[in-house]
């Protein structure tokens, strides 16, 4: 979602997103357990897989914790990242399957909710406005609803790929992830953009432009 502010002429597909209202599980900051608090972190290794999550963790440190650690970028391997940094940002399937021994795990959606009272949008569908006619042919909300109606099938299909049990995958999709871009989620997105601009992560704040509006 951070790229919406960096790529000109984009508009957002209304109503759908990938976000979290409370705890997301798949976007986490992992800290070595010999540290007592996030305020002791001096170096953070950022997962190279996500620009939005990297922007979010920068906002959390600068805005809510009041300081800035040193940043590095790394491939998503927690053990390797923590050999050279106090904490590591890890996302996606690796963020749910790494060993929890000798580490402290902070869920970024939980941290965002704690400080803002809002949900967080990690991803959304976007297109250039001149592609509107093509986008109208795709029922994004219908695809979302069809997927949610077949969560058990999806969980069974991906259990070996993800490395989680079908029950864990179902719980993740139904309880941790929000697929609806409603007013609360848009409020979280607006605030994220304002804070990203405040802290120099993006150069401007473009208002949310929905495709077809």
What secondary structure, in 3-state letters, does the chain show? CHHHHCCCCEEECCCEEEEECCCCCCEEEEEECCCCCHHHCCEEEEECCCHHHHHHHHHHHHHHHCCCCEEEEECCCHHHHHHHCCEEEEECCHHHHCCCCCEEEEEHHHHHHHHHCCCEEEECCEEEHHHHHHHHCCCHHHHHHHHHHCHHHHHHHHHHHHCCCHHHHHHHHHHHCEEECCHHHHHHHHHHHHHHHHCCCCCCCCCCCECCC
Per-residue pLDDT of the chain (213 residues; tens, 9 = 90+): 999 999 988 999 999 999 999 999 999 999 999 999 999 999 999 998 889 999 999 999 999 999 999 999 999 999 999 999 999 999 999 999 999 999 999 999 999 999 999 999 999 999 998 888 888 889 999 999 999 999 999 999 998 888 899 999 999 999 999 999 999 999 999 999 999 999 999 999 999 999 877
Distance separating alpha carbons of residues 121 and 128, to the nearest angstrom:
20
Is residue 132 within 8 Å of residue 19, measured between CB atoms? no
Distance separating alpha carbons of residues 105 and 180, to the nearest angstrom:
26
Going from the C-alpha of 130 to that of each of 2, 7, 47, 126, the distances in angstroms are 21, 14, 33, 12
Q: What is the model's pLDDT at position 131?
A: 85
Q: What is the model's pLDDT at position 121?
A: 98
The answer for 66, left when phi > 0, alpha when psi is -120 to 50, beta otherwise, is left
Q: Which two tokens stand for residue 108?
A: 């970024």
Q: What is the model's pLDDT at position 50?
A: 86
Q: What is the model's pLDDT at position 82?
A: 96
């Amino acid at each position: 979602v951070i790229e919406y502010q960096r790529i000109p002429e984009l508009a957002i597909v209304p109503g759908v997103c990938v976000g979290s209202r409370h705890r997301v599980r798949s976007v986490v900051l992992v800290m070595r357990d010999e540290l007592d608090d996030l305020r002791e972190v001096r170096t953070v290794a950022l997962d190279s897989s996500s620009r939005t999550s990297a922007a979010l963790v920068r906002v959390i440190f600068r805005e809510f914790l009041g300081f800035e650690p040193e940043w590095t970028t790394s491939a998503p391997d927690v053990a390797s990242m923590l050999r050279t940094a106090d904490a590591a940002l890890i996302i996606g399937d690796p963020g749910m399957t790494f060993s929890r021994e000798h580490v402290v795990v902070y869920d970024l959606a939980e941290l965002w909710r704690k400080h803002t009272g809002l949900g967080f949008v990690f991803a959304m569908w976007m297109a250039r406005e001149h592609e509107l006619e093509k986008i109208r042919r795709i029922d994004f909300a219908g695809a979302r609803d069809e997927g949610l109606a077949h969560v058990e099938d999806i969980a069974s299909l991906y259990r070996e790929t993800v490395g989680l049990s079908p029950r864990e995958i179902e719980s993740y999709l139904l309880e941790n992830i929000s697929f609806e871009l409603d007013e609360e989620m848009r409020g979280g997105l607006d605030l994220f953009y304002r804070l990203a601009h405040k802290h120099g992560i993006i150069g401007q704040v473009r208002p949310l432009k929905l495709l077809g509006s």
